[in-house]
Amino acid sequence: VVARPLQHGEIVLFNRQPSLHKMSIMAHRACVMEGGTFRFNECVCNPYNADFDGDEMNLHLPQTEEARAEAALLMDVRNNMITPRSGESLVCATQDFLTAIFLLTQRDTFFTYDQFCQLVSWLGDAGEHIDLPPPAIFKPVRMWTGKQAVALLLKPSSRDGVLVNMEAKASVCSKQPFVNHACVPNDGYVIIRNSEIMCGILDKKTMGSSKAGLVYVLNRDHTQREAARCLWRLTKMCTRWFTDYGFSIGLEDVTPARSLRVARTQLMRQAYGKCDELIQQFKEGRLKLSPGCDAAQSLEAEMTGVLNSLRNAVGDMCVDKLPRHNATLVMSTSGAKGSAMNISQMIACLGQQVVNGKRIPEGFVDRTLPIFPRLAKDPAAKGFVASSFLTGLSATEFFFHTMGGREGLVDTAVKTSETGYMQRRLMKCLEDLTVQYDNTVRTAAGNIVQFVYGDDHLDPAQIEEDRAPLENASLSDRSPVPLKRLLLAATARAPVEGERGLLPIEMQEMVDAAVLPEKTAGLLPVAAVREDVHAGESDAASRRIGPTGTMSDVDVGGGRTVAVAETAFISRLRNFVYGVADEIANRRRTLGLDPADGSGAATISKLAAQSLRDELAEEPERPTALDSKWVKAARRPRSKQRTASQQLALQNTARITRSQLQWLLDRALARYDRSALEAGDAVGALAAHSLGEPATQMTLKTFHFAGIASMNVTLGVPRVKEVINASANISTPITEAYLERQLELVEASARIIKGRIEKTLLGQVCEFIKEVYTSSKCYIAIKLDHSLLSKLFLDVTSSTVRDAILRTKALKLKEGDVDLTVGGLVIVSAPTETSSRAAAAAANEGGRAAQYFKLQRLKGLLPSVIVRGIPTVSRAVIQEMGPENKYRKKGEGDTEAPPQYFLCIEGYQLLEVMGTPGVDPTRTESNHVKEVETCLGIEAARSKIMSELYRVYSQYGITMDQRHLMLLADVMTYRGKVLGITRFGIDKMKDSVLMLASFEKTPDHLFDAAVHSRVDKVIGVSECIIMGVPIPLGTGLFKLMHHPQVPKRPVRRRPLLSMG
């Protein structure tokens, strides 16, 4: 080993632990500087999850040329800017850069010539040529806008070929519908044409990790190198300009004005009045109960809702009333740091403190602290902090705030280890899954897990459009091609000189001809699949042995599935062009142009010449030409108001030429071709990283919102563990039962079906259960509360109660022990012995005492007898379908749909719920994977695993490509039954001794393997690493055969030094 100093420009590997995904170690170019700390661009902090508060990182220097080549090609930062978890950009603008570019692109940001030249000089340190754009204002002083400076980040000079065309909504965009995108209030709609920013403010939504952002568009429409160069220019210019601009936060930024304090006090008074009214209703028994809750639970739910809405209202008020240039508001609006909630906590109030998803519990005798009265329910006594960080907290508020913050700290410390272990199990289970040359996804042993990866053979990092949620998604909803953005780029390209616009029918004919099978055969990846399938050269793992011992090939269906996905894309492309043709025809009709006129080259040339003649004729003198031209135009008849230049502009607006449409079609087909997966891709490892890394982030994010109920992670990580462990007993089994179509509109029908499902005990519906003693016998009389039964719509009679008592085995009663009276009473006698000896014993005092104790035993057990419903269902709640419910019927025309009801059932027994009369079994769902497998089969269990994980991740705003969820669900179910990702499930999935020994219980696996003389083929990832063998993934998937040319006579080596 030769020790030498690190040279400038060498490739190094940078790593931060915990390494939760592959972007936690990437390759950089070293820049040797003075000092003893590592420094790197802040835009790359996100992949490492790094900050600058004392983080420690590792630096590795590759020594061989092979290692340097692999690091430069596979691990370079520019090649890992897109995360395979969701296809979003991980390397993007952050924090101060977002604030600076937000302020730069404001409408009122202008620079003089000197200021603009100084700003532009910071772009490249005089290392590249920059063309200054013309000023936006000429008189009285030439002024340039901040948008022009930002446009130079994309295209500093005319020699750069970076032409960005995109449209996106900024975070300040108005939620009201608008017609003209360029005139949106707050300048909230971003329009970029040929790298020129027409309008809009850039912020986190357009410069962050979003797929609609500028960094993502540069990555996709150009190259990763251009995206990295843009970010490099951004960091240099924004850092230097922001330092010179001066931006800081002080007490004046969090000091509320008098009007804000008055409005806060008024909101507080209103909310406290509502809370006092609710408490009074609770004490008087007039509080309206929430579905499935008692009075105390209903009060807590109502109070929590009122106090949460108070906090949100105060936060919105702070945002509305703070001045536009307030530092905290600028940081929050730009997305650099913080939110309206943080502003509200600093200025107005902290809000309700929460422990375990509820208000502060009563730790003392019926109170939270000894200073409060017993059974106090008011906001201050249950943890509502009305003070702000500016004013300071009182002693009790500080105590409650520490309780809420402690929960976040414990959650961060404890659950991090749980998610780490969960990710390790996922990685061990999925590490050897790879895409083979026949498009199947297989384990190292050759077992097929998926016939086609993701049902479409597309790379998750290349997908741009996931337009539908997982439950309603189809192949046509998932596309790697942004057709709308390609259309913008195509129409922004200057047409060929003399080229006419296409008629709508010509556009349709052109796209039909372009997507014919013989045209797309060489562009789309299915061509290679068809050749492989029909060539008869199938893989050995795709063959089967027949009954006679003969070998036959098995068509695994991969080619057909990929063909279906490509057909869906081609159909979508055709429909898109058809829609563009119709839109152009409608636009021409609206503008008064002939929809069937192609705007030929001659027409365009004539209009251009006429426009020039009009300008020369109508403008003899420049100072008054503009006014005179519009005066003349105003005096003309309406049919003649358009000049030739205006007519030319309209013609260019409402047309698309053949070269533009051909460019669009070629780019769309080529981009789809590039998005296909390659054989050898380690899709299993990517899925494990993608699923495990955000689970840890879900836990760690709670630290930043300590004590806020709506942001605490309560069920996220435990729910993910339940699903991937395939737990037989879950914490909250929930079944959603939808009623038959004719019944779901009537609430009474829902109550009747609820009574059939919910477990009803005898003690809940009877008026009394009392002992009756007479001179001859003793028994228990039961009378039902018929008024309560009618209110609850329960079909319970004396006969059904008698049958239920006899069915209860714990009572040990026979038919003769339970009788009915004419008045509807149920008579239950103590069980008697039939033998003569027992009858004699019953005559004495001891026998009567035994009868008494039996009667007392029956009286204690009878209230718990189940008289109606499913025994395992503890509660059923009637709920109204919300507007987002996928089963809700829409109203006709402008009329709203009537209320529609369904049942939310807590408990097991999905099969019995589906069989209940009035329940629609085709729309009944359960969140219990094992129960779904038992009732509906393995395919339904696979779908349920995917939907449950998708729901958990989306609940916390974490985007996840559904291909990773599909792969995990297939791994858990491909053997015909649901296997959990646990030590027991992995034992059933894997056969390798070394792999199992490297996971858990190492001595046991090695001892059993030695005793039974087991053989390990060393074909998986863990085994190959242990034995030092190349891993059969990526470039190790194939092997090369080489036949060396052996010389006929031995070759003599020449001497290095000749003597003489």
pLDDT in tens, 371-380: 888 888 888 8
pLDDT in tens, 388-399: 898 899 999 999
Does 134 score more than 60 pLDDT?
yes
Q: How confident is the model at residue 939 (pLDDT cuts 50, 70, 90)?
A: very high
How far is residue 242's CA from residue 479's CA, in Å, rounded to a whole number? 39
Instruction: Tell me the average pLDDT across 786-807.
Output: 84
Domain ranges of the chain: 11-80, 101-245, 251-393, 441-599+655-674, 606-645, 760-868
The angle formed by the CA atoms of residues 1050, 1055 and 1058, to the nearest 5 degrees, is 145
Q: How confident is the model at residue 76 (pLDDT cuts 50, 70, 90)?
A: very high
pLDDT at 442: 92
Question: What are 816's two structure tokens?
Answer: 């003769």
Q: Which residues contact 547 (CB under 8 A, 6 or more apart)?
A: none
How far is residue 783's CA from residue 824's CA, in Å, rounded to a whole number? 7
Q: Which residues contact 796 (CB under 8 A, 6 or more apart)?
A: 760, 765, 784, 789, 867, 868
Q: Which residues contact 610 (CB under 8 A, 6 or more apart)?
A: 644
- Is the domain spanning 11-80 CATH 2.40.40.20? The answer is yes
Question: Which residue(s) pair with 768 in the sheet?
Answer: 783
Pick the CATH number of 101-245 from 3.40.50.300, 1.10.274.100, 2.40.128.20, 3.30.1360.170: 1.10.274.100
Q: How confident is the model at residue 518 (pLDDT cuts 50, 70, 90)?
A: low
Question: What are 355's two structure tokens?
Answer: 């422990």
- Residue 86 is classified by DSSP as T
Residue 787 CA, chain-centre distance (Å), reads 49
pLDDT at 548: 52
Question: Which residue(s) pair with 829 in the sheet?
Answer: 779
Q: Which residues contact 620 (CB under 8 A, 6 or more apart)?
A: none
Q: Secondary structure of the chain: what % helix, strand, coil (to 5)?
A: 50, 10, 40
Question: What are 130's two structure tokens?
Answer: 């920059």
How far is residue 693's CA from residue 696's CA, in Å, rounded to a whole number? 5
10 Å CB burial of residue 551 (0-12, 13-18, 19+) is exposed
Class of domain 251-393: mainly alpha
What is the DSSP track for 631-660? HHHHHS-GGG---HHHHHHHHHHT--BHHH
Q: How confident is the model at residue 970 (pLDDT cuts 50, 70, 90)?
A: very high
Q: How confident is the model at residue 368 (pLDDT cuts 50, 70, 90)?
A: confident
Answer with the residue of higher pLDDT: 824 or 347: 347
Q: Is the pTM for the entire model greater than 0.85? A: no
Which helix (DSSP H) or strand (DSSP E) does residue 509 occupy?
Answer: helix 504-514
The angle, 0 to 180 degrees and rounded to 10, between the axes of the packed helices 683-700 and 962-973 is: 110
Residue 199, sorted as left (phi over 0), alpha (psi -120 to 50) or beta, turns out to be beta
Q: How confident is the model at residue 625 (pLDDT cuts 50, 70, 90)?
A: very low
Does 704 score more than 60 pLDDT?
no
Q: Which residues contact 900 (CB under 8 A, 6 or more apart)?
A: 744, 745, 880, 881, 887, 888, 889
Does 842 score more than 90 pLDDT?
no
Neighbours of 751 (CB within 10 A): 17
pLDDT in tens, 979-1024: 999 888 888 888 888 989 988 888 998 999 899 988 888 888 999 9
Backbone angles phi, psi at 773, to 5 degrees: -115, 130
Amino acid in position 779:
Y
SS3 452: coil
- Mean pLDDT in the chain? 80
pLDDT at 176: 66
Which helix (DSSP H) or strand (DSSP E) does residue 342 occupy?
Answer: helix 340-347
How far is residue 100's CA from residue 803's CA, in Å, rounded to a whole number? 77
Does 902 score more than 60 pLDDT?
yes
Burial 499-537 (b: 16+ CB within 10 A, else e): bbbbbbebbbebbeebbeeeebeebbbbbebeebbeeee
Q: Which residues contact 434 (CB under 8 A, 6 or more apart)?
A: 441, 442, 680, 681, 682, 683, 684, 1032, 1033, 1037
Amino acid in position 529:
V
Backbone angles phi, psi at 272, to 5 degrees: -65, -35
Closest CA relative to residue 443, chosen from 997, 1029, 1027, 1032:
1032
Instruction: Tell me the average pLDDT across 260-266.
Output: 89
Fold for domain 760-868? Gyrase A; domain 2 (3.30.1360)
Instruction: Tell me the average pLDDT across 100-125.
Output: 88
Instruction: Please answer whether residues 237 and 119 qualify as being in contact, where contact means their C-beta atoms are separated by less than 8 angstroms.
Output: yes
How far is residue 444's CA from residue 433's CA, in Å, rounded to a whole number? 7
**CA distance readout (Å), 716 to 367, 412, 694, 951:** 30, 13, 11, 10
Amino acid in position 19:
S
Question: What are 739's two structure tokens?
Answer: 């009623």
pLDDT in tens, 170-196: 888 777 666 666 777 778 888 888 888
Question: What are 583's two structure tokens?
Answer: 């839109």
CA dihedral 364, 365, 369, 372 (to 10 degrees): 180
pLDDT at 703: 38
Instruction: Tell me the average pLDDT across 917-926.
Output: 88
Q: How confident is the model at residue 597 (pLDDT cuts 50, 70, 90)?
A: low
Does 154 score more than 70 pLDDT?
yes
How far is residue 165's CA from residue 494's CA, in Å, rounded to a whole number? 13
pLDDT in tens, 672-697: 888 888 888 999 999 999 998 888 76
Instruction: Please answer whether residues 343 and 316 qualify as being in contact, where contact means their C-beta atoms are separated by less than 8 angstroms.
Output: no
**CA distance readout (Å), 702 to 209, 243, 276, 351, 369:** 21, 32, 31, 16, 26
Sign of the dihedral through C-alpha 265, 266, 268, 269: positive
pLDDT at 596: 56
Q: How confident is the model at residue 532 (pLDDT cuts 50, 70, 90)?
A: very low
pLDDT at 593: 64
What percentage of the chain has pLDDT greater than the value 70? 81
How far is residue 198's CA from residue 677's CA, in Å, rounded to a whole number? 37
pLDDT at 355: 83
State the maximum Cα–Cα separation within the chain, in Å, rounded to a whole number: 141
How far is residue 760's CA from residue 50's CA, in Å, rounded to a whole number? 55
**CA distance readout (Å), 1014 to 50, 59, 999, 1011:** 45, 41, 18, 8
Does 648 score more than 70 pLDDT?
no
Does 799 score more than 50 pLDDT?
yes
Does 1029 score more than 60 pLDDT?
yes
